[in-house]
Amino acid sequence: MSSILSHSIDEYIKMVTSFHGYPAPGVLIGGFMVDLAYTKLPKDGLYEVICETAKCLPDAIQLLTPCSTGNQRLKVIDTGRYAFTLYEKRSGEGVRVYLDWTLLDEWPEIKGWFLKLTPKEAQDEGVLIREIKEAGSDICGMEKVQVKLDSLNKRKKSSISICPSCNEAYRTSDGALCPACKGSVLPYGRMSKTPSKRHKSA
């Protein structure tokens, strides 16, 4: 049986379970996708990733590459397609790997899961995981990509202001109020704040 970068499949399933909460089919397939992308690129590159879905795939990338949302080397641009592009940070040269539904006829359980043809309660998780292990990266398509680096609009460095409305620090470049106070970007309203020193004595 194949492996995922330096990990055996079973090792990788354990990593996924610990990080993601359970061995989600999408994260397992994502492991093979990352493995495939790495085999096509020079070993000495400095890589970043654009992931096209917010679901499952970012966790495979964060488990197997140095790219995370926190270090900003992983960007999610959610097109809803099960795909990511791994590219060299300075040259923009990279590969896009995607789950190719046209290759799924051999793998009925994966096809039913991926295209949501099989209702959740009718899915056989054991068969699904077995098919995923057997298929490996055979169900993936790949294409060369040249990333337009200037279009990634890296956030400009900004000084910090204190918002006159919420009294929290934010980027001055965002305007006279922080984005939260300016508009309804957050799904909750103003909180009644307790200064942190009082939390400690409570």
Binding site for Zn ion (CB under 5 A): 163, 165-166, 178, 181
Nearest to 31 by CA among 58, 67, 4: 4
Task: Locate 143 and state its tokens.
Answer: 């294409």
Q: What is the largest CA-CA distance in the chain?
A: 62
Kindly state the smallest distance separating residue 154's Cβ from Zn ion, in Å.
24
Closest to Zn ion by CB, 138 or 168 = 168
Closest to Zn ion by CB, 21 or 175 = 175
Residue 97 β-bridge partners: 84, 142
* 104 C-beta neighbours (distance < 10 Å), count: 19
Kindly state the smallest distance separating residue 70's Cβ from Zn ion, in Å.
23
Closest to Zn ion by CB, 145 or 177 = 177
Kindly state the smallest distance separating residue 153's Cβ from Zn ion, in Å.
24
Closest to Zn ion by CB, 57 or 181 = 181
Angle of the 25-39 helix axis to the 125-135 helix axis, nearest 10: 0
Q: State how far Cα 108 lies from the chain centre.
A: 26
Kindly state the smallest distance separating residue 47's Cβ from Zn ion, in Å.
36
3-class DSSP state of 62: helix
Cα separation, 200 vs 202, whole angstroms: 6
Report DSSP letters for 85-131, one per residue: EEEETTT-EEEEEEE-GGG-TT-HHHHHHHTT-S-GGG--HHHHHHH
Kindly state the smallest distance separating residue 182's Cβ from Zn ion, in Å.
8
Closest to Zn ion by CB, 87 or 170 = 170
